Amino acid sequence: MNTTPHSFHIPVMGLGFTIDSPIRVAHLGINSVVSVVDDLLLERIRKHYSELYEIPFKRIGRTAIDGRTRRVKEFLNMMNQIVSDKFEEVKSQPIFSDSEKDRYFDLLPSVSDLKKRYKELYFTTDELIRTKLGEELTNLMKPGEIQVNIMSKVDLLRNDEDGVPFSAEHSDANTALRGFAESDVDGSLVLSAGFNPRLYGYLAEFEDFYRLSGKRPKKRIILKVSDYRSALIQGKFLAKKGIEITEFRIESGINCGGHAFASEGVMLPTVLEEFAEKKHELVETFDPLVQSYYEEKGWSFPEMTFEERTPAITVQGGIGNNGEMQRLLDYYGVDSTGWGSPFLLVPEATCVDEKTMSLLGDAGESQFYLSNVSPLGVPFNNVRGSGSEINKRELIEKGKPGSKCPKGFLSTNTEFTENPICTASAQYQIMKIDQLKTSMTDEEKLNQQINEILDKDCLCNNLGFSALIRLGIVPEKTGKQAICPGPNLAWFNRTYSMEEMVDHIYGRSTELDRPERPHMFAKEMSMYVEYLEKMMALTGDDPKERRKLNKMKANIEQGMDRCYELSLKQAYPGENLESLGRIVYEQRKRLEELFQPEVRAEA
């Protein structure tokens, strides 16, 4: 179950946008997630903060033995030290002195027991009682958790100097995992982007993921999933190795920031209902497997209540106001929520350069789109006009398209080479375009495919530039920064203080509310129908692909039915249920038109 003082967390965003978020917000009790995909970026950020906080720093060179593991470990150790020191400083501050300690309690939701005790203390006049209650309250304060994200799909197994592949523990995901596991952090590992047996199996090598001596694991597992079936499969695999899941973090397959791992059209209302109905089944399925593993190892497994053994269920992806959040918490019974993209406009919480923040604040709905820029071949939520897009266009105009691929984390293509290369690299793009020019005669189709190739972006490098610019590590003129906001950001139009955003989240202020903003489920629905339309255009009349599209259509229609039922219920304050009913009607009609035989024939 959720044990944090807040009912929201800040999810991972890109490679650099939340890279220092725990340093910024953990002392205020807010959980946030750091990406450790780019260990070279971590090293540059570590150097910056080590100098800022006067922490000894010794550079770990790019070719150092087990360098990736060491860079991740040392970065997290530094972050853990800074967070701990800041939090202890906050705890030591006098209460009711307009300090960060007061800010800690002021930001809490009104339903928080800590918040209530804080208010009670304010009205306590007896000095002895006041001192005692103040000490008790201070002891109950908790810092926000440092959570670390590893994308399971980003798991390149590199070669040594002689071209021989390293052993499995040296894959990109496993080395990052080892860095986290060997660090001092008492926090959570967020596993995302699919099932990776090699990575999941490696977890069993580290004792910090187990309840040794009857204590909760020092390092806990959060699985980011898009449906119940995925949660069950991955959870069972881990349970057989004695690994418990602390939290299932449900994310919309399409209405989110960054990579959109679009499901088969299964919308959030459908997913949330299934989790609500089967939540207890997760415990009943995993518990015997976990306990069996402990018995095999000769370890004792502590007695716990059913509630203590039940993983938290959280949700993220397009949440825009308190009404929608209350719907998720009360109606669907989730434990907490994730608010990502809006925090890109909160300088206190995330690491975004001023130029990019200005772009995001000014951008309207039409400028946020599902792009083709990711070398992974997965749709990627994007905004038009980023520094990365401008730089890419300039290179194409100069006749020098593609990236030099300085990091290679997304190198997966072996079409022309024995070793994987990245589809955003100049090497791949030049070879692929030459191949197409010699094999295609239809000029229109040729140009279309060339544009798709040139559209790929060097996300490994460019998603970290904004943080480097913001921290003054590289000059602003570098101008290659990529950004990955969700479309929900269209309804936030300036930078905000932490108080403004948190008050908005908890419904304590309506200043940021936009009555015309469609419901988060309505937006998800529209995006899935639009995505289905694009897939139909790409697949043609292939029977196998058509069956997949028909299944997606059926799943979208099921989600529409649930959305329509929801639209008839009483809305929470600020929740735009009217838009939900209206858009169900519009998108159902659009879906029917897409699947009319004569429309398909004309297409």
Q: Assess whether 300 and 271 both reside in one domain.
A: yes
What percent of the chain stands above pLDDT 90? 83
Number of CB atoms found within 10 A of residue 244's CB? 22
SS3 state of residue 237:
helix
**35 vs 376, more confident:** 35
Residue 503's H or E segment, with its range, is helix 498-505
* Beta-carbon contacts of residue 43 (< 8 Å; ≥ 6 apart): 59, 60, 71, 75
Rounded-to-integer distance, Cα 239 and Cα 233, Å:
10
pLDDT of residue 598: 45
pLDDT of residue 300: 92
Number of CB atoms found within 10 A of residue 113's CB? 10
Q: What is the mean pLDDT of residues 413-428?
A: 92
Q: How far is CA 102 from CA 106, 236, 261, 406, in A?
A: 6, 43, 40, 45
pLDDT of residue 597: 64
DSSP 50-72: HHHTT-------TTSTTHHHHHH
Rounded-to-integer distance, Cα 409 and Cα 70, Å:
17
Phi, psi for 413 (deg, rounded to 5):
-95, 130
**600 vs 237, more confident:** 237
Assess contact for 33 and 147: CB atoms under 8 A. yes
Q: Assess whether 239 and 293 both reside in one domain.
A: yes
pLDDT of residue 3: 67
The 10s digit of each residue's pLDDT in 274-294 is 999 999 999 999 999 999 999
Q: Closest Cα partner for 533 from 380, 370, 376?
A: 370
Q: Which amino acid is at 532?
A: L
DSSP 9-33: EB---TTTTTTTHHHHHGGGT--EE
**Over 50: is that where the pLDDT of 600 sits?**
no
Assess contact for 34 and 148: CB atoms under 8 A. yes
User: What is the CATH classification number for the domain harbouring 232?
Assistant: 3.20.20
Domain membership of residue 547 (yes or no) is yes
Rounded-to-integer distance, Cα 187 and Cα 379, Å:
30
The 10s digit of each residue's pLDDT in 477-500 is 777 899 999 999 999 999 999 999
Q: Assess whether 316 and 390 both reside in one domain.
A: no
Q: Closest Cα partner for 35 from 49, 14, 62, 59?
A: 14
What percent of the chain stands above pLDDT 70? 98
Q: Assess whether 383 and 459 both reside in one domain.
A: yes
Rounded-to-integer distance, Cα 586 and Cα 249, Å:
30
Q: Assess whether 373 and 331 both reside in one domain.
A: no
**The domain boundary residue, chosen from 341, 374, 401:** 341
Number of CB atoms found within 10 A of residue 126's CB? 9
Token output for 577: 């249920």
pLDDT of residue 554: 95
pLDDT band at 581 (very low <50, low <70, confident <90, very high): very high
**Over 50: is that where the pLDDT of 136 sits?**
yes
Assess contact for 178 and 203: CB atoms under 8 A. no
Domain membership of residue 388 (yes or no) is yes
Q: Assess whether 565 and 602 both reside in one domain.
A: yes
Domain membership of residue 409 (yes or no) is yes
**412 vs 577, more confident:** 577
Rounded-to-integer distance, Cα 123 and Cα 125, Å:
6
Q: Closest Cα partner for 180 from 190, 171, 192?
A: 190
Q: Which amino acid is at 5?
A: P
Q: Closest Cα partner for 40 from 78, 80, 74?
A: 74
Phi, psi for 60 (deg, rounded to 5):
-105, 105
Rounded-to-integer distance, Cα 249 and Cα 537, Å:
32
Domain membership of residue 567 (yes or no) is yes
Residue 223's H or E segment, with its range, is strand 220-225
**Over 70: is that where the pLDDT of 2 sits?**
no
Q: Assess whether 441 and 566 both reside in one domain.
A: no
Residues present in the chain in total: 603
Domain membership of residue 576 (yes or no) is yes
Q: What is the mean pLDDT of residues 439-455?
A: 91
Assess contact for 294 and 300: CB atoms under 8 A. yes
Distance between start and end Cα atoms, the chain: 50
Q: Which amino acid is at 188?
A: S
Token output for 276: 């609500």
CA dihedral over 412, 413, 417, 421, signed as positive or negative: negative
Write a three-state SS string for 330-377.
HHCCCCEEECCHHHHHCCCCCCCCHHHHHHHHHCCHHHEEEECCCCCC
Q: Assess whether 452 and 528 both reside in one domain.
A: no
**The domain boundary residue, chosen from 317, 341, 365:** 341
Domain membership of residue 463 (yes or no) is yes
Assess contact for 1 and 312: CB atoms under 8 A. yes
Instruction: Give the bridge partners for 150, in sequence order.
Output: 191
Q: Assess whether 357 and 444 both reside in one domain.
A: yes
SS3 state of residue 474:
coil
pLDDT of residue 261: 87
Domain tally, the chain = 3
Q: Assess whether 328 and 391 both reside in one domain.
A: no
Segments forming the whole domain that contains residue 468: 353-482
Domain membership of residue 152 (yes or no) is yes
The 10s digit of each residue's pLDDT in 340-367 is 999 999 999 999 999 999 999 999 999 9
Query: Which residue is it, tokens 């209530």?
Result: 116
pLDDT of residue 194: 87
Phi, psi for 34 (deg, rounded to 5):
-110, 135
**Over 60: is that where the pLDDT of 467 sits?**
yes
CA dihedral over 560, 562, 567, 572, signed as positive or negative: negative
Rounded-to-integer distance, Cα 292 and Cα 301, Å:
10
**The domain boundary residue, chosen from 309, 341, 373:** 341
Mean predicted lDDT score pLDDT of the chain: 93
Question: Would strands 8-9 and 336-338 be described as parallel, antiparallel, or unpaired?
Answer: parallel
The 10s digit of each residue's pLDDT in 157-216 is 877 776 677 788 889 999 999 999 999 999 999 999 889 999 999 999 999 999 998 889
Assess contact for 152 and 170: CB atoms under 8 A. no
pLDDT of residue 530: 95
Domain membership of residue 114 (yes or no) is no
Q: Assess whether 168 and 259 both reside in one domain.
A: yes
The 10s digit of each residue's pLDDT in 57-103 is 999 999 899 999 999 999 999 999 999 999 999 999 999 999 999 99
The 10s digit of each residue's pLDDT in 408-420 is 888 889 999 988 9
Q: Assess whether 297 and 359 both reside in one domain.
A: no
Q: Closest Cα partner for 177 from 46, 33, 69?
A: 69
Residue 487's H or E segment, with its range, is none
